[in-house]
Structure 1
Amino acid sequence: MAQSYGRDHLHDSVSKRSRDPSSDYNSDKRHRAASDEAQHRPAGTLSTRRQLYERNFPLYKQPVEVGFFSLDSRRNFFNDQRQLRYYVEPRKSPDFNLRDGYTSRFVKRDDGVKEKLDHVLKWILANRDKIQTRDQTSSSSCALGVDFVTWRGHLTKVLTTPYETQEGWMLAASKFRGTIYISEVETEAARANRMTRSERQEEMMYWGYKFEQYTCADDVDGTPDPGGVVNTNEAFCTVVQTRLADHKLLFSGEVDCRVKDPDAPPAPGCYVELKTSAEICTPKQRSNFHRYKLLKWWAQSFLPGVPQIVAGFRDHDGIVVSIETFQTSKISHLIKNEINCWKPTVCMNFCNDFLSFVKSVVKEDNPRLVYLFEWDPHRDVTYTVHRDSPFTFLPDWYVKDTRSQHSSHH
């Protein structure tokens, strides 16, 4: 039962809150004794204390791309690669002006519209045959043959949780025909931030997309068109399957571009993630970059197996002054020397234990039932249960279509 996610850090909320977490750095033995009774019931909370997750790196299978989809300038779904772009390597000091076009050639996606898992679900309905069911035995209890369906971005938030000090999260989970679907719910704090962004914050969000425009071509033999319109509705997304320890995962994530070389490894091994960051001028800035930004970059690209990240470093005025390429697999070596730095093993073990925690809690198979998992920095993960509530996120069209496809196969 509860052993699968480690007995040392599962306590019910009462015993957890009553202890001073700073006092039990080396109290494994006390934990064991105190938590033996927790073996026989699901724990109410999950600890996020880093020390609990410094075990061996868990098994994480090489992610396999099972499909992809495109979203056009009006956010319409296409079961194809029409939005995939090609990476064009810039000069060493490119002098790209990221401010260009912000006031005149920018169509911004409405981030107040919450699409939940809808695009991923559309992909599943169109491609159920592409999902690899390793063993036919599991597919009887679980129609899709996977344990979890979600967005890559939601898993990124889980991975970085043990090191996050600013932003909490809320993740809704529903079990339908044996598979657990996980969808994000915007927190009050995130909503407040979104509603009160400064003009500079808004413009700097544009800068990341503008950098993509300078470094991506629409065709394999094309060149970038920095004079065009930046439309953040457009997206190309990969869909990958992988396994983290005992958890079979199917998730989708946006991909910026691929390398042009036709002999490059198959996707996701040919994909490139594009980033911008403030230029690094002081040791303190370098340390912060390693400790905070590289953690997010690593988690985001490691999950879907994207091998390289191209970063444009920009000055205060939005001019890209240098370019650096990071191999995702080498990022953890780069940061080894930082004191108190993040560890990939902690991130992955926490994610593994979180998914085990979710499995232990989400027992009722019902698309109208939502288990809401909440986390705030320096707290445990907790959950609440909501039946037929506004948190329900699996749409009727998905539930109906899945059920009718199922009955026609029997």
Structure 2
Amino acid sequence: MGLSSNLFVQKRSATSSLRQPKEIGHYSKTIENEFKIYDNSQLSYFYFPDSDLNKNLDLSAGIKKFKECTEDPNFDQCTLNPLLGTIKAYEQRKEKKVSADIVTFRGVMRKLISCAFDSPQYNRVELRVVSFNGQLFIKEVSEHRTTQVDHNSIEHRSYYSGYKFENLTTLSKPLSQVPRGSLEKRPKKICNNGEQFVTVVRSGVGSCKLVMGAEVDCVFDFSESGSDNLKHYAELKCTKGVSSVAEARRFERKIFKTWLQCFLVGIPRIIYGFRDDNFILKSVEEYSTHEIPVLLKTNNQQLVNACVDAVRWYGALTEWLLESIPRQEATDHMKAYRLRFENNHLKLSEIEQGDEEYEGIIEGESILSSEFKDWRKELATKESSS
């Protein structure tokens, strides 16, 4: 009988101490699903003069030309490979293994934290965890959409408007390097969801150290070559304008989730675009990530303790994972687990030999690439002989 463990979502850790996030690497992803390690070619720069709000910018314009890059059944959108490649490059430079207990993406950790506030119906958690070389690697299982997209639906237009807002407010280079003609063509630029710039950050909660990959929407002011740029990054969001108490409550729940996204990896600034019912951009507001808990505490009784609660649950779930899953330093030993959100608890269960996923994970490259496993073996040999 393999290992099995449950964690109920009411559990909270006594600790609410967080480690200061630090950027240790980055990579770019192209529209052709190519990954470029330590490359910032997909990094965008925020630029949106107030006068542009007078242009009645349509956030649904160009929706039929939208390039959907996440539906390729032959490409795993949740792959850890570029994150592992960035860690390998970092370790080659430092000549030692990165100090971490858990390696994953920010989106995975956000989903796990959201289990304390959402039901499984609205927060699908289908993860695989591998214990290898003293660390836990957590990967989401890809879910391919099977239904046809209705381009005229409010849901799809809302989804698209986020990408359109990014196109309208960012540049591919700093403003001083952008020709005037390119600025004027921004409203006609075709949107896609394939290009990404991803930061790789070392962070932590309590005694647990994490390395997480997180997509970055843009640089707010300027970037510094060869240094930690976390303090310059910003998160872009787009939502319907607030004109009633009910809409204000809805927005507060949204900005709480955005805060969760940003605090995990230390992104200090959030920029919201507000649209009307016709998807015309009406205003743009900037928020400081560290001020959001105060904002919520002042305005919404239901969310008074939500931010501290989220951190304590974050501490509890990472403690549980580290206590439940054995971690051996050996590079020839791997164990795999399923992690799911069911009813009111997280359920961890070991994937044993004979399971249909076992070979692909343990012997294959479903979670960890052969390149990364070979590198860790090489590094372990170097460290033991030095």
Q: TM-score range by the shorter chain?
A: 0.7 to 0.9
User: Residue 268 and residue 130 in structure 1: after superposition, are their counterparts in 2 closer, same or farther (change >3 A)?
Assistant: farther
Aligned twin of 1:128: 91
Aligned twin of 1:29: none
The number of aligned residues is 350
What is the CA deviation profile of residues 246-289 of structure 1, one whole-angstrom value per residue up to 9, with x for unaligned ones? Answer: 11111110001102346899510100110001111110110121
Q: CA deviation at 1:125?
A: 2.1
Alignment of 1:275-354 (within 5 A): 275-290=237-252, 292-336=253-297, 337-341=299-303, 343-354=306-317
TM-score normalized by the length of structure 2: 0.83
Q: Distance in 2 between matches of 1:396 and 1:216?
A: 37
Asked whether the equivalents of residues 71 and 77 of structure 1 are also in contact (C-alpha less than 8 Å), the reply is: yes
Asked whether the equivalents of residues 57 and 345 of structure 1 are also in contact (C-alpha less than 8 Å), the reply is: no
Alignment of 1:191-270 (within 5 A): 195=147, 198-199=150-151, 200=153, 201-220=155-174, 221=176, 222=178, 224=183, 225-261=186-222, 266-270=228-232
Q: CA deviation at 1:402?
A: 2.4
Alignment of 1:25-104 (within 5 A): 44-49=5-10, 52-53=11-12, 58-79=16-37, 80-91=39-50, 93=53, 95-104=56-65
Aligned twin of 1:371: 337
Q: CA deviation at 1:398?
A: 2.2
What is the CA deviation profile of residues 41-61 of structure 1, one whole-angstrom value per residue up to 9, with x for unaligned ones? Answer: x98311112xx43x7661111
Aligned twin of 2:364: none
Asked whether the equivalents of residues 4 and 347 of structure 2 are also in contact (C-alpha less than 8 Å), the reply is: no
Q: CA deviation at 1:164?
A: 1.1
What is the CA deviation profile of residues 8-48 of structure 1, one whole-angstrom value per residue up to 9, with x for unaligned ones? Answer: xxxxxxxxxxxxxxxxxxxxxxxxxxxxxxxxxx9831111
Match of 2:319 among 351, 356, 359: 356
User: Residue 260 and residue 338 in structure 1: after superposition, are their counterparts in 2 closer, same or farther (change >3 A)?
Assistant: closer
- Is 1:395 the counterpart of 2:354? The answer is no
Q: Distance in 2 between matches of 1:338 and 1:367?
A: 49
Asked whether the equivalents of residues 174 and 362 of structure 1 are also in contact (C-alpha less than 8 Å), the reply is: no
Q: Distance in 2 between matches of 1:248 and 1:373?
A: 19
Kindly provide the amino acid, as one letter, of the partner of residue 276 in structure 1: C
**Where does the alignment leave 5 or more consecutive residues of structure 1 unmatched?**
1-41, 134-138
Q: Distance in 1 between matches of 2:313 and 2:20?
A: 19
What is the CA deviation profile of residues 137-176 of structure 1, one whole-angstrom value per residue up to 9, with x for unaligned ones? Answer: xx7xxx4321111001111112222111322312211111
Q: Distance in 2 between matches of 1:261 and 1:124?
A: 25
Q: Distance in 2 between matches of 1:232 and 1:226?
A: 17
Q: Distance in 1 between matches of 2:246 and 2:316?
A: 33
Asked whether the equivalents of residues 337 and 348 of structure 2 are also in contact (C-alpha less than 8 Å), the reply is: yes
Q: CA deviation at 1:197?
A: 5.3
Q: Distance in 2 between matches of 1:367 and 1:214?
A: 49
Q: Distance in 2 between matches of 1:128 and 1:101?
A: 43
Q: Distance in 2 between matches of 1:217 and 1:130?
A: 31
Asked whether the equivalents of residues 173 and 362 of structure 1 are also in contact (C-alpha less than 8 Å), the reply is: no
- Is 1:109 the counterpart of 2:69? The answer is yes
Q: Distance in 2 between matches of 1:44 and 1:144?
A: 28
User: Residue 91 and residue 167 in structure 1: after superposition, are their counterparts in 2 closer, same or farther (change >3 A)?
Assistant: same
TM-score normalized by the length of structure 1: 0.78
Higher relative contact order (CA 8 A, sep 6+): 2
User: Residue 372 and residue 280 in structure 1: after superposition, are their counterparts in 2 closer, same or farther (change >3 A)?
Assistant: same
Q: Distance in 2 between matches of 1:360 and 1:120?
A: 25
Question: Percent of aligned pairs with the same residue?
Answer: 23
User: Residue 261 and residue 359 in structure 1: after superposition, are their counterparts in 2 closer, same or farther (change >3 A)?
Assistant: closer
